[in-house]
Amino acid sequence: MKKLIIGVCIFILVMIAIVTYKRITNVGDYVNPPINLKITSNAFKEEGFIPVKYTGRGEDISPKLIINKIDPKAKTIAIIMDDLDHPLGVYNHWIIWNIPASFNVIPEGIPKKEVIPPLGNAIQGKSGYGGKHYYRGPKPPFGSHEYIFKVYVLDTALDINKDSGKGELQKAMDGHIIQYGTLKGKFGN
């Protein structure tokens, strides 16, 4: 019985350590500016259900995003997509940056590569979802989860390593965000 109690205590401590680590390294938002930009998609409506096509249970391709009224001073766009309801806290699925600000429509199905020539050589960094350099769609382990696409319009191009993750991207954007908007959707059982 004593071994079982010790085992349970160790398990609980390990889980607390994992959750704490995830919350530190894959935290919600390092920068959280006010929303002053409207983001839409022809794939789903705000707070609506994300079609299976754009999820890990379907084709696992990124949805089309439409960015309305980009500031003329803008240089680039960055996007972060997170699962807000993951058991370990906010869980990152996709990051991409250095999309030229002339792209007010981000097309569906961004290629699964680090550098995206059709998007002005935009860079897809390492997501928290398996450390991949591409979009990983919703695939909640259970229940229905809320997902958020965060779009940042910046006054500069970012000079960060292609292997950067969400935290490095957020630090690099800090002080350069001139517009910010979100699009939320749900997916799950």
Instruction: Output the pLDDT for position 11.
Output: 59
Q: How many CB atoms lie within 10 A of CB 105?
A: 10
Which residues are registered as beta bridge partners of 81? 94, 149
In this predicted model, what pLDDT tens digit does every residue of 50-74 receive, in sequence order? Answer: 999 999 999 999 999 999 999 999 9
pTM value > 0.95:
no
In this predicted model, what pLDDT tens digit does every residue of 69-95 receive, in sequence order? Answer: 999 999 999 999 999 998 888 999 999
Return the H-helix or E-strand segment holding 183: strand 177-188
In this predicted model, what pLDDT tens digit does every residue of 116-169 receive, in sequence order? Answer: 999 999 999 999 888 889 999 999 988 999 999 999 999 999 999 999 999 999
DSSP single-letter state for residue 90: S
- Domain range enclosing 66: 2-188
Report how many domains make up the chain: 1
Instruction: Output the pLDDT for position 87.
Output: 85
In this predicted model, what pLDDT tens digit does every residue of 6-45 receive, in sequence order? Answer: 766 565 655 555 544 444 344 456 566 888 999 999 999 9
| CATH, residue 169 | 3.90.280.10
- Within 15-165, strands assigned E span 38-40, 48-49, 65-68, 76-83, 91-100, 105-106, 115-116, 122-124, 144-154
